[in-house]
Amino acid sequence: MCGRAGSELDRLYLPKAGLQRSGIYCSNAFKCLNTKKQAPKHNLVSTCAEHWLPWEMRRVQPTYLIVGGSTALKLFPGRRLELHHGRPFRGSLYRTFHGQREAYWSGIVIPTYNPAAGLRSGDYMTYSMDDFQQIGKMVRRYDDWVTKNIPIDPYPNPTYVRLHGVDQVARYVSSIDWVYPVWGRPGMGLDTETIPSPIPGAPDPGFCLSFSLQPGTGAVIMATDIEALAGLFTWMDVFRPVVYIHNGLFDLPVIDQMGLPKHLLMGSRSWVDTMIRAYHQKDLPKALKVLSYRYLGAEMRTFDEVVLPHSIAKLSTWLQAVAGYEVQIITHGKKGKLLKSPKILTGWDKYRLPRQTGLRNKAQTLDDNLQEWMAATEDAAWDAFEASLDEDGDDVASESEELASPWERIKAWPANMLGPAIEIFGPPPVKSIEHVPDDEMDRYACRDSDVGLRLGIGLLRQREVMRLYA
């Protein structure tokens, strides 16, 4: 590692771990020439590593392996840099030899950010400095200290419900032992979910509201259940809870659409934005799902993990209907003579517009590619989320830039193709949480408010008190 990133490693990060450049060995997981400004995919990284790393490992015999950056971390599938950086784990490196997969190194792996990341963002620099402090403790044989500081979720089996009507809301809130974090008022985690607006440029309408009054519990109310929402807002007006919201800039307008009286969230002691609190702590991540996993031990599913499978299933049904619209396969000619190749007639032929005959093929091809696209999108979304950097500190285009989502591809269809399809089968189903089954949607929605409450009354509050009396 050389250049500005190498200088950053030598002068800033290694001293934090009590190490010197002469005492470590630096190598690259991906040594091949990368002519494209794109992060290499997993298969390219593993193939290149299998060629070069085995002999390096045999020669160096490292006790600890520090993995810097998301590209090198691809050698250990299932690990995500945003979630697992600074957390040691036991891992192995494999190669294929004579058709058999064998491990050529096993030991303790510590993932961290590429030193170049700190040149582009102060947040990454803070995370890397903390990671190298833990690396120093590992090197000095303080393994137990690191292991004991990895949190475990105290609520592995939370209770989440959906409420209907004002009576169910009243019974639910009266059955919960509320928490009182500060000022003698109940604590309340609050979150919302939206669906895409049918009008371009208009605000997305609210789909549901979830709240939590006790860690490990949560309830969801649909935006269409006006009576249940009114019952909850009446309870809030009486007891004036301290509301914990993660990213209030998104949630507050949606709650306002649902009819929450404005005076309930007026003043600095009425609501707390946990994302802003995390930002003020400097060394905490801002994303709710990363924050909850690293500091509460609570795992959360991403929006795409929940929504994409069901939305793509809906879109696939629409594409199959378009591709199969009044399909007739003609195998014989007018005199009964067998044709060399069957002729396909579709309902789209009656439009007789330029390029119209390709609509069936476009719909069929896109439907065939959906599963492929979805598998690639999962990794690409994480690559984009982690904002991986190359060794010179330049941005690397994520794999998601190579992919066009199925909805973007449909928008690119000519108007004389898309128009008739929408006229007959309606607009294509969009990516939306409304396609998710009720039980799965309830768990996803309530998880955000539950974790938000835990962060507000637990981690963030404790850290503020420690800073106040430090």
Summarize pLDDT for 227-266 with one digit per residue, the tens.
999 999 999 999 989 899 999 999 999 999 999 888 887 7
pTM (2 decimals)? 0.78
Give percent of the chain above pLDDT 70.
80
Asked if pLDDT for residue 94 goes beyond 90, the answer is: no
Local confidence band at 390 (pLDDT 50, 70, 90 cut-offs): very low
What pLDDT is attached to residue 382?
46
Domain range list for the chain: 3-148, 159-285+442-468, 303-435
> Nearest to residue 303, comparing CAs of 163, 441, 405, 189?
441
What pLDDT is attached to residue 243?
92
Asked if pLDDT for residue 357 goes beyond 60, the answer is: no
Predicted confidence (pLDDT) per residue in 117-145, tens digit: 877 777 788 888 888 888 887 777 655 55
More confident residue, 4 or 159: 159
Predicted confidence (pLDDT) per residue in 133-186, tens digit: 888 877 776 555 555 567 888 899 999 999 999 999 999 999 999 888 766 789
According to CATH, the topology of domain 159-285+442-468 is Nucleotidyltransferase; domain 5 (3.30.420)
What pLDDT is attached to residue 400?
38
Q: Class for domain 3-148, per CATH?
A: alpha beta
CA 142 to chain centre: 32
The angle at the Cα of 273, spanning 268 to 277, to the nearest 5 degrees, equals: 100
